[in-house]
Structure 1
Amino acid sequence: MQSDIVVPAFEMDCRDWLVVTSEDLGHTEDLDGAPVLATLSTAVAAEDELHSISGVLMVGLLDDDVPPAIEVREGAVAAEMLDVDSDAGTSRFLLPCPDGKLALVAEFDLRADAGGRVRHRIEELMASFRWSA
């Protein structure tokens, strides 16, 4: 018996971000076998440079092999995963669904260096995440 997996609705403050869905691009895409819900892009101005930031929002199944994570902010849904195997140029955040079976995973490219402004922009976005009722 096959059933559809339903991800609950969520809210994020994306005012500083451009959000593009796979449907907007005209195709569905997987990243490491996980369905991509959206691609997120923004830019941070620092001195005389403009630093671009990109990330993806994916769906994943929660299991017992979830790496340790630290809350972005007290009471926030999102937690930054402390994955020792991950590339130093990326940062991953875990956003578990209320039922505990599924999660959203947000992965960001951190190669842009804007004196901490890049990390702040990402953390603000992740702290704004809420599951809708």
Structure 2
Amino acid sequence: MFLLPFASYLIAEHIGVSGILAAVAAGMTITRSGVMRRAPLAMRLRANSTWAMLEFVFNGMVFLLLGLQLPGILESSLAAAEADPNVETWMLFTDIVLIYAALMLVRFGWLWTMKKFSLRFFEEETDGVRQLDVA
């Protein structure tokens, strides 16, 4: 089961479709199939710790690659801004700050909405005591 997303990636790339989407779909299929719920406890514990370690390593690799790409992106953006007389460097930085602020507002709004949604639909009050129903 561990190799299924990799195999689906290779097969999808071979036939000319998106390998990334195929790997994601394979991972979601494994999760939805419930195969791991029927596995022995020792296997589930090993799988969970392995996935946690791989997730940590891959997240670290993504941030490392992003950090390696960032100086080149910044350098080429500044060079393009200096070459174009219609673009001011301060406009680029202003755009970055505005986009960042908009993303933070969207994130805050989403989290606030989801908190209100979860409180409204997943909790019941019983004699002034909150109770979470888990089915």
- Normalising by the smaller structure, the TM-score range is under 0.3
Structure with higher Rg: it is 2
Structure with the bigger percentage of helix: 2
- Structure 2-normalised TM-score? 0.26
Higher strand share: 1
Greater RCO, 1 or 2 (C-alpha within 8 Å, sep 6+): 1
TM-score (norm 1): 0.26
